[in-house]
């Protein structure tokens, strides 16, 4: 494939160029911010310098909340707990062991490591597979309550409700602290910005949009969330540590959930999912609070509360996007102008069996599978074997159990009983992303895509298992298996790579999802109504692609379809399900001509041993 090689060689400088352009923007803006920080102590009054140091550190914590909530969709009230752990690590060690460079380093290590351990435990508790987002928020609320209560009950060791104060700390001037805190915030924001805009950062948004789809693309969502929480905890603890060093006072309120909810409020007001919004929002609100709350303490808090409620109800995206939108309108710039070209797609040869131990010709073995919902028997006694290279259609009236069977093959936890082997591996009770590792790729019945991600970004996410995305940049080229590329080209999506998925028609979303699943390079392909919503020529092309995948690449394809003509044209074998049982398994000819199938479809037959109460 010399074309691809030359294209790739030519593409390499593009990758560097792309990363550079983003980096350039960050360097320029970051540099400007650093200049402002440097000038700060000389220009601003001392009171504001003091307030700003605190605000910088709060903003760092707010940044972590935005990454967790705004980008990944995890509403957390608990980042304050990590801030408090970092602060108290410093406070406790400096109070009880005294201050020295060694102790300072120890306190930092203890604070950050402690926060990371707690985050790992909290993550294990909240992010298990199938957890509801409400439960994660609940746990994030419980955490700071527990930490604060432990601090309150610590007696003289932790200082109880008055906290610890008067301990010795770094002998640094206030101006220097201002520079340190400011530089910390600017660097952190710059780093977070680069990460969030990179290919890896898009995974966070994908998780927020559609966790299930991510799991079925082989992404271990729980692990990603736990890792993210651990990193954010470390950052929060670092900010807390700095805070304790500057203020030389620590109190349980800094670890409590009131502070935790304040962080969420600042992020919501500033603009969730924008990074800059929460940072600016925190700075503005916190400094204003320190000025105004002396004079009108309760009224100010009331105003913040009212603004918060109004924003949540009426302006959920926050104030920064609102302002930015107004500015854009004034400048005449439309919202849909693409800011940069999407990556170029490159065809690669698929290797569906790479990494799979030699498994023999049996792609799929279903033995005695059943699925019950209480007394309702959705599947009963399903038994069949599918070989590599077979194109197997599952037909049957609505409610026969076809989609349920697909789900059981792709998710080890779904079935009630029976054994399923994929490429010789028993899927046991393994979650979807582990089944993807065995070679399963599943396309859902209703088009399940990432609404706010572009087509190119969606394909990139689909390639995550095969090629780890960059944490720094957006690649200029995207390797896509031939079959997926053909689907994209045939359905006209190639010209719409920069379009967000929510603007696509129903049929286009189906095509996108199919391409995403093909991009996984699966060896067992489960397609639930892949042609629904597609036109006749598109349908024919998909059919051709599927036949080629089965015959040339030895994929095993399992297809659920209502279009009996499509089934007749491309299948090598048909299985008929009716009321949860396998009633017929044979060649296309046998099944289509069968009297039984005809009666089933015209609403006639009643499966002989159907088990309905």
| Closest to another protein by CB, 306 or 327 | 306
Q: Is the dihedral of CA 174, 175, 177, 178 positive or negative?
A: positive
- Tell me the closest approach of the beta carbon of residue 606 to another protein, in angstroms: 5
| Closest to another protein by CB, 331 or 536 | 536
- Tell me the closest approach of the beta carbon of residue 612 to another protein, in angstroms: 5
| Closest to another protein by CB, 315 or 387 | 315
- Tell me the closest approach of the beta carbon of residue 397 to another protein, in angstroms: 6
Residue 219 tokens read as 């992404």
| Closest to another protein by CB, 423 or 531 | 531
Residue carrying the six token digits 């752990």? 85
Counting Cβ atoms within 10 Å, is residue 611 exposed (0-12), middle (13-18) or buried (19+)? middle
- Tell me the closest approach of the beta carbon of residue 135 to another protein, in angstroms: 6
Tell me how far apart the alpha carbons of residues 264 and 284 are, in angstroms, rounded to a whole number: 15
Residues near another protein, by CB under 8 A? 75, 125, 128, 130-135, 137-139, 141-142, 145-146, 149-150, 152-153, 261, 264-265, 268, 298-299, 301-302, 304-306, 308-309, 312-314, 316, 375, 397-399, 502-503, 505-506, 529, 532-533, 536, 562-563, 565, 579, 602-604, 606, 612-613
| Closest to another protein by CB, 316 or 361 | 316
- Tell me the closest approach of the beta carbon of residue 594 to another protein, in angstroms: 17
| Closest to another protein by CB, 321 or 481 | 321
Residue 275 tokens read as 């990074």
| Closest to another protein by CB, 149 or 176 | 149
- Tell me the closest approach of the beta carbon of residue 254 to another protein, in angstroms: 17
- Give the DSSP H or E segment for 410: helix 402-410
DSSP letters for 537-601: HHHHHHHHHHHHHHHTT--EEEEE-S-HHHHHHH-SEEEEEETTEEEEEE-HHHHHH-HHHHHHH
| Closest to another protein by CB, 137 or 571 | 137
- Tell me the closest approach of the beta carbon of residue 335 to another protein, in angstroms: 16
Tell me how far apart the alpha carbons of residues 568 and 87 are, in angstroms, rounded to a whole number: 69
| Closest to another protein by CB, 152 or 353 | 152
- Give the DSSP H or E segment for 205: helix 199-209
- Tell me the closest approach of the beta carbon of residue 261 to another protein, in angstroms: 6
Query: Which ranges of 169-275 does DSSP label H, i.e. alpha helix?
Result: 174-197, 199-209, 211-216, 221-247, 257-270
- Give the DSSP H or E segment for 456: helix 455-462
Residue carrying the six token digits 């309702």? 376
- Tell me the closest approach of the beta carbon of residue 225 to another protein, in angstroms: 15
What contacts 93, CB < 8 A, 6 or more positions away?
A: 103, 106, 107, 110
Cα–Cα distances (Å) from 108 to 5, 62, 79, 112, 235, in that order, read: 49, 20, 17, 6, 11
């Amino acid at each position: 494939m010399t074309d691809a090689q030359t294209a790739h060689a030519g593409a390499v400088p593009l990758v560097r160029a792309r990363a550079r352009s983003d980096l350039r923007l960050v360097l320029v803006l970051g540099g400007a911010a650093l200049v402002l920080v440097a000038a700060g102590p000389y220009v601003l009054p001392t009171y504001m310098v003091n307030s700003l140091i605190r605000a910088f550190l709060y903003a760092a914590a707010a940044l972590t909340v935005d990454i967790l909530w705004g980008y990944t969709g995890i509403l957390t009230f608990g980042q304050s707990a990590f801030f408090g752990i970092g602060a108290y690590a410093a406070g406790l060690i400096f109070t009880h062991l005294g201050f020295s460079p060694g102790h300072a380093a120890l306190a930092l290590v203890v604070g950050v490591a402690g926060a990371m351990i707690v985050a790992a435990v909290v993550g294990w508790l909240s992010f298990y597979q199938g957890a509801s987002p409400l439960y994660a928020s609940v746990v994030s609320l419980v955490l700071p309550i527990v930490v604060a209560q432990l601090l309150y009950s610590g007696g003289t060791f932790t200082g109880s409700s008055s906290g610890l104060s008067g301990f010795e700390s770094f002998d640094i001037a206030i101006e220097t602290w201002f520079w340190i805190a400011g530089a910390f915030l600017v660097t952190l924001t710059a780093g977070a910005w680069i990460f969030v805009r990179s290919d890896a950062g898009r995974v966070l948004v994908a998780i927020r949009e559609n966790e299930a789809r991510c799991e079925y693309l082989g992404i271990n969502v729980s692990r990603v969330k736990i890792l993210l929480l651990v990193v954010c905890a470390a950052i929060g603890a670092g900010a807390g540590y700095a805070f304790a060093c500057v203020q030389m006072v620590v109190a349980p309120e800094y670890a409590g959930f009131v502070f935790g909810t304040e962080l969420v409020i600042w992020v919501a007001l500033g603009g969730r999912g924008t990074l800059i919004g929460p940072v600016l929002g925190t700075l503005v609100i916190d400094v204003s609070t320190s000025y105004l709350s002396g004079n009108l303490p309760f009224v100010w808090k009331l105003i913040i509360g009212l603004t918060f409620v109004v924003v949540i109800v009426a302006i959920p995206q926050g104030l920064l996007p609102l302002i930015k939108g107004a500015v854009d309108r004034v400048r005449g710039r439309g919202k849909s102008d693409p800011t940069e070209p999407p990556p170029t797609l490159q065809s690669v040869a698929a290797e569906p069996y790479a990494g799979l131990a030699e498994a023999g010709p049996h792609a799929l073995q279903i033995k005695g599978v059943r699925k019950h919902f209480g007394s309702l028997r959705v599947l009963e006694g399903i038994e069949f074997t599918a070989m590599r290279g077979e194109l197997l259609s599952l037909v049957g009236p609505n409610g026969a159990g076809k989609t349920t069977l697909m789900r059981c093959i792709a998710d080890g936890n779904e079935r009630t009983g029976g054994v399923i082997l994929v490429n010789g591996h028993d899927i046991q009770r393994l979650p979807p992303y582990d089944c993807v590792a065995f070679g399963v790729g599943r396309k859902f019945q209703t088009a399940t895509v990432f609404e706010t991600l572009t087509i190119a970004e969606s394909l990139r996410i689909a390639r995550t298992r095969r090629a780890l995305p960059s944490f720094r940049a957006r690649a200029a080229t995207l390797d896509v298996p031939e079959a997926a590329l053909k689907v994209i080209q045939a359905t006209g999506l190639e010209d719409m790579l920069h379009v967000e998925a929510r603007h696509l028609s129903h049929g286009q979303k189906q095509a996108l999802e199919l391409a995403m699943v093909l991009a996984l390079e699966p060896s067992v392909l489960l397609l639930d109504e892949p042609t629904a919503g597609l036109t006749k020529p598109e349908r024919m092309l998909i059919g051709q692609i599927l036949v080629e995948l089965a015959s040339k690449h030895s994929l095993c394809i399992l297809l659920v379809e209502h279009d009996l003509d499509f089934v007749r044209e491309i299948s090598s074998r048909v299985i008929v399900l009716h009321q949860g049982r396998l009633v017929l398994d044979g060649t296309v000819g046998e099944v289509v001509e069968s009297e039984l199938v005809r009666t089933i479809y015209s609403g006639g037959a009643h499966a002989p041993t159907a088990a309905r109460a």
